[in-house]
Structure 1
Amino acid sequence: MNATEHAQQPRLLTPGELAACIKLFRETRQWSQEQLAAISGLNVRTIQRVEQGLSASLDTRRALARAFEFEDMDVFNKPFSIPSEDETKAAKEKFDREHVTLTAAPLTTGKQLAKLVEACSMDLSEPAFELTREADETFAILVDYFREYRDCSDSYSETQKFDVYDEMQSHIEALKTLGVSLRYATRKVQVRWGSDAVDAKPMPVTVLYVVGFPLGEEPEQFATPRSSGIRL
């Protein structure tokens, strides 16, 4: 049996192997340690300890499994198949083929958001971590509002738009008070319309991404699937 075959035999992870896996899963998703902490419900110091190869409790391992969306939350507490170097490389290449990395720019004013909405035909808007009920509702209200505005922005006079800017600003500030910071990115894509979409000529459109991150833990970039559910 060679070293690669031996490494792939299911067995309990050592703290050092868990550290390598967690770091790999985190970096593959373009998450910072702060983002993983927010998504898992752990503190940043705990994430740092795990990635340093220090011991992790059963509950910590469960929280990490949930963050990475494993169906079995005890996956890190059971015998685990360690991927080979080739398997790791193949997984990274597959992720890169299926995802695109975008620059996350600050979204801070209602006027800024309104202008972005006017310039984009579609959006994909979602929080990047689990929100409280109040923050989740506030985020949903903002998204509903700017989608409605996008559908009828041509009917607003330049003077009337100031009320729109103020309304959007109030929701952005409410989210900030609730610990949610908004980041945005735009991306040009090709879409096909109609029932005969396969044969139809693709049309270039600009997509707006509005993403909520924990205040003070905003990333410089985020990854998103190349093909995803985009709202008209």
Structure 2
Amino acid sequence: MNAAENAQHVRLLTPAELAACIKLFRETRQWSQEQLADISGLNVRTIQRVERGLSASLDTRRALAGAFGAEDIDAFNKPFAIPSEEACKAAKEKFDSEHVTLTTLPLTTGKQLAKLAEICSIDMSEPGFELPREADQTFAVLVDYFRDYRDCAPDYAEAQKFDVYDEMQSLIDALKKFGVSLRYAERKMHVKFGAEADSTPMPVNILYVIAFPLGKEPEQFATPKSAGVRL
């Protein structure tokens, strides 16, 4: 057996593995089981059976592959290269060496977001899933407003900040109505500014503001140790 064969096993997905894939693909798109049934042309009971890890026919697997936009409708009927335990361990070690895991906290008020803007110098704000257009636009408006305030926060009198709190709160509330929840995390690191090799790294506080589906917010997320940042 050669190294490539050692690193992976080529076989069909088990019903349990297929169930995990289908549920992941469905939830990533924020589809209900009923929506997946409509799109695939299957009935809801069939979707429920598949996601419980029960057997699925060749035609059912084809319908599901088509629903998720697979170019090959037999994608779920063909053998997959399943990594060995050793390959999975090596991949995890590589991932851990290249990423840092941050704890996320709820972001629910405009005042909370404004205070975070006042103490961060860099932010990484982005949706953690594909947002519907209106929600995506609302999130973009919030991020732009947040960055504008961050850049000129020292110029605001304390009484003036209440208007900022209210504006941010209205955008956060609008996102919630779209089924979007905000979480944040902070990270302290040193960043070099400019192209000079001998430039001195400066300490910065990076703020991550991430949008997640309401009710499905993770407690942690991983980000590359040397990620690009937004000034």
The whole-number CA distance in structure 1 between the counterparts of 2:128 and 2:11 is: 32
Aligned to 1:141: 141
- Give aligned-pair identity as a percent: 65
- Whether the 8 Å CA contact 1:38–1:129 is kept in 2: the answer is no
Partner AA of 2:222 in structure 1: A
- Whether the 8 Å CA contact 1:65–1:75 is kept in 2: the answer is no
- Whether the 8 Å CA contact 2:180–2:214 is kept in 1: the answer is yes
Please provide the CA RMSD for this pair.
3.3
The whole-number CA distance in structure 2 between the counterparts of 1:6 and 1:76 is: 23
Aligned to 2:29: 40
The whole-number CA distance in structure 1 between the counterparts of 2:226 and 2:74 is: 31
- Whether the 8 Å CA contact 2:65–2:72 is kept in 1: the answer is no
What is the Cα deviation at residue 5 of structure 1?
3.6
Q: State yes or no: 1:203 paired with 2:192.
A: no
- Whether the 8 Å CA contact 2:7–2:86 is kept in 1: the answer is no
The whole-number CA distance in structure 2 between the counterparts of 1:48 and 1:223 is: 31
Aligned to 1:223: 222
Partner AA of 1:228 in structure 2: A
Task: Identify unmatched segments of 5+ residues in structure 2.
Answer: 37-46
What is the Cα deviation at residue 192 of structure 1?
0.3
Greater RCO (CA < 8 Å, at least 6 residues apart): 1
- Output the TM-score relative to the length of structure 1: 0.78
Deviations 1:154-194 (A, max 9, x none): 11111111111111011000001111011111001110011
- Whether the 8 Å CA contact 1:61–1:77 is kept in 2: the answer is no
Q: State yes or no: 1:89 paired with 2:89.
A: yes
- Whether the 8 Å CA contact 2:15–2:53 is kept in 1: the answer is yes
Partner AA of 2:221 in structure 1: F
Deviations 1:89-134 (A, max 9, x none): 0111111112211111110111100000110000001111111110
**Distance 1:16-1:151 versus aligned 2 partners, 3 A rule:** same
Deviations 1:200-223 (A, max 9, x none): 221110000101111112121122
Partner AA of 2:96 in structure 1: D
Task: Identify unmatched segments of 5+ residues in structure 1.
Answer: 24-32
Q: State yes or no: 1:190 paired with 2:179.
A: no
- Whether the 8 Å CA contact 1:38–1:214 is kept in 2: the answer is no
The whole-number CA distance in structure 1 between the counterparts of 2:33 and 2:19 is: 14
The whole-number CA distance in structure 2 between the counterparts of 1:176 and 1:95 is: 32
Aligned to 1:28: none
Aligned to 1:30: none
The whole-number CA distance in structure 1 between the counterparts of 2:50 and 2:68 is: 10
- Whether the 8 Å CA contact 1:114–1:164 is kept in 2: the answer is yes
Aligned to 2:165: 165
SS state at 1:81 partner: strand
* Structure label with greater radius of gyration: 2
- Whether the 8 Å CA contact 1:65–1:76 is kept in 2: the answer is no
Aligned to 2:39: none
| Matched pairs, number | 215
What is the Cα deviation at residue 15 of structure 1?
2.3
The whole-number CA distance in structure 2 between the counterparts of 1:94 and 1:73 is: 33
What is the Cα deviation at residue 199 of structure 1?
2.2
What is the Cα deviation at residue 74 of structure 1?
6.8
SS state at 2:190 partner: strand
Deviations 1:57-96 (A, max 9, x none): 3454577798xxxx98975543321111110101111111
The whole-number CA distance in structure 2 between the counterparts of 1:96 and 1:72 is: 33
